Structure 1
Amino acid sequence: MYWKLRIPLLLGVIGVISGLVQKFPNLFFVNTSYFIRSAVFIGLIGIIFTILEKTNVNEKKVHFTIGIGIILFGIIFDYLIA
Protein backbone atom coordinates (compact mmCIF):
# COMPACT_ATOMS: atom_id res chain seq x y z
CA MET A 1 0.00 0.00 0.00
CA TYR A 2 1.43 3.36 -1.03
CA TRP A 3 0.74 6.80 0.32
CA LYS A 4 1.47 10.34 -0.86
CA LEU A 5 3.86 12.21 1.40
CA ARG A 6 1.52 15.19 1.94
CA ILE A 7 0.01 14.20 5.31
CA PRO A 8 3.08 12.49 6.83
CA LEU A 9 5.30 15.45 5.96
CA LEU A 10 2.80 17.94 7.36
CA LEU A 11 2.57 16.07 10.66
CA GLY A 12 6.33 15.50 10.75
CA VAL A 13 7.04 19.19 10.12
CA ILE A 14 4.59 20.23 12.84
CA GLY A 15 6.34 17.92 15.33
CA VAL A 16 9.86 19.07 14.43
CA ILE A 17 9.02 22.79 14.39
CA SER A 18 7.12 22.42 17.67
CA GLY A 19 10.10 20.76 19.32
CA LEU A 20 12.54 23.36 18.05
CA VAL A 21 10.34 26.27 19.10
CA GLN A 22 9.96 24.83 22.60
CA LYS A 23 13.67 24.09 22.97
CA PHE A 24 14.99 27.36 21.51
CA PRO A 25 12.29 30.03 22.08
CA ASN A 26 14.79 32.92 21.91
CA LEU A 27 15.86 31.84 18.43
CA PHE A 28 12.39 32.43 17.02
CA PHE A 29 10.69 34.88 19.39
CA VAL A 30 12.26 37.70 21.34
CA ASN A 31 9.98 39.56 23.78
CA THR A 32 6.80 39.13 21.76
CA SER A 33 3.19 38.60 22.72
CA TYR A 34 1.49 35.23 22.59
CA PHE A 35 -0.49 36.24 19.50
CA ILE A 36 2.67 37.07 17.53
CA ARG A 37 4.39 33.87 18.67
CA SER A 38 1.42 31.82 17.49
CA ALA A 39 1.36 33.61 14.14
CA VAL A 40 5.09 33.02 13.62
CA PHE A 41 4.70 29.32 14.50
CA ILE A 42 1.87 28.85 12.01
CA GLY A 43 3.76 30.96 9.46
CA LEU A 44 6.85 28.75 9.73
CA ILE A 45 4.79 25.65 9.13
CA GLY A 46 3.03 27.34 6.22
CA ILE A 47 6.29 28.42 4.58
CA ILE A 48 7.84 24.97 4.89
CA PHE A 49 4.69 23.29 3.59
CA THR A 50 4.53 25.73 0.65
CA ILE A 51 8.13 24.95 -0.26
CA LEU A 52 7.35 21.23 -0.17
CA GLU A 53 4.32 21.80 -2.43
CA LYS A 54 6.25 23.92 -4.95
CA THR A 55 9.06 21.37 -5.23
CA ASN A 56 6.53 18.51 -5.65
CA VAL A 57 8.01 16.56 -2.75
CA ASN A 58 4.49 16.03 -1.41
CA GLU A 59 3.46 14.20 -4.59
CA LYS A 60 5.97 11.38 -4.10
CA LYS A 61 4.47 8.05 -3.14
CA VAL A 62 6.07 5.98 -0.40
CA HIS A 63 5.16 2.81 1.40
CA PHE A 64 2.67 3.17 4.24
CA THR A 65 5.26 2.21 6.88
CA ILE A 66 7.61 5.01 5.77
CA GLY A 67 4.75 7.50 6.14
CA ILE A 68 4.00 6.23 9.62
CA GLY A 69 7.73 6.44 10.41
CA ILE A 70 7.83 10.12 9.38
CA ILE A 71 4.83 10.89 11.58
CA LEU A 72 6.32 9.01 14.54
CA PHE A 73 9.65 10.79 14.04
CA GLY A 74 7.90 14.17 14.33
CA ILE A 75 6.03 13.09 17.46
CA ILE A 76 9.10 11.57 19.13
CA PHE A 77 11.27 14.58 18.19
CA ASP A 78 8.74 16.94 19.78
CA TYR A 79 8.46 14.76 22.89
CA LEU A 80 12.20 14.24 23.44
CA ILE A 81 13.49 17.71 22.59
CA ALA A 82 11.02 19.66 24.74
Structure 2
Amino acid sequence: MYWKLRIPLLLCSFGVISGFVQRFPHLFFVNIPYLINSAIFVGLIGFIFTLLEKTRVNEKEVHFSLGAAIILFGITFDYLMV
Protein backbone atom coordinates (compact mmCIF):
# COMPACT_ATOMS: atom_id res chain seq x y z
CA MET A 1 0.00 0.00 0.00
CA TYR A 2 1.42 3.37 -1.01
CA TRP A 3 0.80 6.78 0.44
CA LYS A 4 1.51 10.33 -0.74
CA LEU A 5 4.00 12.22 1.42
CA ARG A 6 1.65 15.16 2.08
CA ILE A 7 0.30 14.10 5.50
CA PRO A 8 3.48 12.46 6.87
CA LEU A 9 5.61 15.49 6.00
CA LEU A 10 3.06 17.90 7.46
CA LEU A 11 2.94 15.99 10.76
CA CYS A 12 6.72 15.62 10.80
CA SER A 13 7.18 19.34 10.23
CA PHE A 14 4.78 20.07 13.12
CA GLY A 15 6.92 17.88 15.38
CA VAL A 16 10.28 19.25 14.26
CA ILE A 17 9.28 22.92 14.42
CA SER A 18 7.57 22.36 17.78
CA GLY A 19 10.69 20.67 19.13
CA PHE A 20 12.96 23.49 18.00
CA VAL A 21 10.61 26.15 19.38
CA GLN A 22 10.44 24.42 22.76
CA ARG A 23 14.19 23.79 22.96
CA PHE A 24 15.38 27.18 21.68
CA PRO A 25 12.62 29.71 22.42
CA HIS A 26 15.04 32.65 22.42
CA LEU A 27 15.84 32.06 18.74
CA PHE A 28 12.23 32.33 17.60
CA PHE A 29 10.35 34.42 20.14
CA VAL A 30 11.89 37.35 21.98
CA ASN A 31 9.56 39.37 24.25
CA ILE A 32 6.48 39.25 22.05
CA PRO A 33 2.90 38.38 23.05
CA TYR A 34 1.56 34.83 22.95
CA LEU A 35 -0.80 35.57 20.05
CA ILE A 36 2.09 36.69 17.87
CA ASN A 37 4.10 33.63 18.97
CA SER A 38 1.29 31.40 17.75
CA ALA A 39 1.02 33.27 14.47
CA ILE A 40 4.76 32.89 13.86
CA PHE A 41 4.56 29.16 14.60
CA VAL A 42 1.68 28.65 12.19
CA GLY A 43 3.46 30.84 9.63
CA LEU A 44 6.58 28.65 9.82
CA ILE A 45 4.50 25.53 9.26
CA GLY A 46 2.67 27.20 6.38
CA PHE A 47 5.95 28.31 4.79
CA ILE A 48 7.42 24.81 5.00
CA PHE A 49 4.24 23.23 3.64
CA THR A 50 4.10 25.73 0.76
CA LEU A 51 7.75 25.07 -0.05
CA LEU A 52 7.10 21.33 -0.15
CA GLU A 53 4.07 21.86 -2.39
CA LYS A 54 5.96 24.11 -4.83
CA THR A 55 8.83 21.62 -5.16
CA ARG A 56 6.31 18.77 -5.59
CA VAL A 57 7.90 16.69 -2.83
CA ASN A 58 4.43 16.07 -1.39
CA GLU A 59 3.32 14.31 -4.57
CA LYS A 60 5.80 11.44 -4.22
CA GLU A 61 4.38 8.13 -3.11
CA VAL A 62 6.07 6.02 -0.46
CA HIS A 63 5.21 2.79 1.29
CA PHE A 64 2.83 3.09 4.22
CA SER A 65 5.50 1.96 6.71
CA LEU A 66 7.90 4.69 5.58
CA GLY A 67 5.15 7.29 5.96
CA ALA A 68 4.42 6.03 9.46
CA ALA A 69 8.15 6.17 10.25
CA ILE A 70 8.30 9.82 9.12
CA ILE A 71 5.36 10.67 11.40
CA LEU A 72 6.96 8.75 14.28
CA PHE A 73 10.22 10.67 13.73
CA GLY A 74 8.39 13.99 14.09
CA ILE A 75 6.64 12.89 17.27
CA THR A 76 9.87 11.47 18.75
CA PHE A 77 11.84 14.60 17.84
CA ASP A 78 9.26 16.79 19.58
CA TYR A 79 9.26 14.54 22.64
CA LEU A 80 13.06 14.42 22.93
CA MET A 81 13.58 18.18 22.53
CA VAL A 82 11.49 19.03 25.62
> Counterparts of 1:53 and 1:2 in 2: how far apart (Å)?
19
Query: How far apart, CA to CA, are the structure 1 residues paired with 2:70 and 2:31?
Result: 33
Q: Summarize deviations over 1:25-66 as a string: whole Å, max 9, x none.
A: 010011000000000000000000000000000000000000
Letter in 2 for 1:13: S
Moved over 3 A (4+): none
Between the aligned partners of 1:62 and 1:76, the Cα distance in structure 2 is 20
TM-score scaled by structure 2? Answer: 0.99
2:73 is equivalent to residue 80 of structure 1:
no
**Equivalent-residue separation in structure 2 for 1:66 and 1:50 (angstroms):** 22
Structure 2 unpaired stretches of 5+: none
Give aligned-pair identity as a percent: 72
TM normalised by structure 1 equals 0.99
Aligned residues: 82
